[in-house]
Amino acid sequence: MLARNSRRKYEVLRYGGICMRYIDEPTVASVLRMQDLIPVMRQAMIDFSQGRIAQPTRRIFAVQPHGGFFGSMPAAGANALGAKLVTFYPGNAEKNLHTHMAVIVLFRPQTGEPMVMMDGRLITEMRTSAVTATYIDAVAAPDVKTLAILGAGTQGKSHIEALSHVREFEKIRIWNRTRARAEKLAEDVGGKAMSCEEAVRDAEVVVVATSATEPVLEGKWLRPGAKVATVGWGGPDGGEADAATMSHVVIVDSREGTLADSGNIRRFNAEIYAELGEVLDGTRPVNPNATVVFDSIGMACQDITAATLVYDKLVA
C-alpha cells in the first residue's frame, strides 16, 4: 500500500511496514547551495583518496535501442551510505530534455535501514561543477581572468556558476556546436560566443562539457600553464580532448574509475599524475606553471555526500 504525505517538505512513501521518504527536484533545489556544496565536495575527494570511502567502479551499459546508457553507482563511508541510478541519453538535447536523469537512495550507515530516496538530476549537475571548482581553486592562480566554456548545455552553465565562487573572471568565452545555444548562454552570463579555437586561445581556464565522442579540444590551442577540466562523457572509448591535451599533467577523480570508463584516458593511454583528493590534501602538489588537465567522470561518493547534505538540511 502506497501512502503519500504531501504536507511535509518531502513525500513519505509507505510500502507495507517500510517508510521511505521521497524528495523531488524542486525541494532539492530549495536547499542545495553551491557555496555549501563546494567545501563538502572537497572533503569527499580527500576522503576517497585517503581510503575512507568504499566505492566500486560504476557499472554502465548501453540501452541499445534508444541510444542511451544506464548506470549504477554505490558508495559507503562512515557518515553516508547509498547508491545512484542514472541514465544518460545524449539525444535528449535535441528533444529539449535533460541528458542526465537520476535517483539517489540513502541508507542509515549504522544499521543499513533505508532512509530516503531523492531526485538526483540536479545533484549530478551541481556536484560535477562543484568538484571542478575545488580543482580550479587548488591549481589555478588567484588572478586568472579568462574562462573558456566548450559546451553550452547544463554543465556549461553550471560550471560558470560554480567557478564564480572561487575565481573572478572578466572574460567568459563560450562555444557550442549550435551557435545559437552559445549565444543564448553568453547573453545570460555576460559572456561572448565564438569559435572553439578562439575560445580556447590564451584562456587561463578551459572547461570542456560536451557529449562528444571525438575530440573538440585540440591541445595545440592551449596556452602554457592553462588549467583544463574535461567533464563530458562520450563512452569508455570516446573522448572530447585530443592526444596533445592529454599529454600534459593529468589529474583524475578516481584512478580505477577513469581507467575503466574515461575515453580521454583510455584511447591515448594518458599518464595519471594524481587523484584530485591527493592534490587537495597536499600529498601530490602541482607545479603552478604546468598545463594541467582534470579528467572528471563523476563518482558515487560525490552523489551520496551531496544527497546527505540535502537530507541533513531538510531534517535540521
> pLDDT digits over 158-199, tens only?
999 999 999 999 999 999 999 999 999 999 999 999 999 999
pLDDT per residue as tens digits for the range 46-104: 999 999 999 999 999 999 889 899 999 999 999 999 999 999 998 888 888 888 899 99
> How many domains does one find in the chain?
2
Q: How far, rounded to the nearest angstrom, does the alpha carbon of residue 281 sit from its chain's CA centroid?
A: 20
Task: Give whole-number Cα distances, 213 to 197, 209, 238, in Å.
Answer: 18, 12, 4
Residues 79, 195 share a domain: no
Any idea which residue has 557518515 for its cell? Answer: 79
> Which CATH number do you get for residue 49?
3.30.1780.10
Q: Rounded to the nearest 10 degrees, what angle do helices 34-49 and 300-315 cross at?
A: 130
User: Binning pLDDT at 50, 70 and 90, where does residue 12 land?
Assistant: low
For the sheet with 114-119, list strands across it.
11-15, 18-23, 114-119, 100-107, 81-88, 68-76, 59-63
Rg of the chain, C-alpha, whole Å: 19
Residue 71 counted as domain residue: yes
Residues 144 and 247 both lie in one domain: yes
Single pTM value for the model: 0.92
Same domain, 215 and 173: yes
Assigned domain for 20 exists: yes
Q: What are phi and psi of 103, to 5 degrees?
A: -130, 150
Distance between CA atoms of residues 294 and 220, nearest Å: 17
Note whether 177 and 288 are same-domain residues: yes
**CB atoms near residue 85 (< 10 Å):** 16
Q: Are residues 156 and 261 in the same domain?
A: yes
Q: Is 4 part of any domain? A: no
Q: Which domain holds residue 86?
A: 11-123+301-315
- Classify residue 223: in a domain, yes or no: yes
Asked if the model's pLDDT at residue 288 lies above 60, the reply is: yes
> Measured between alpha carbons, how far apart are the two ends of the chain, in Å?
29
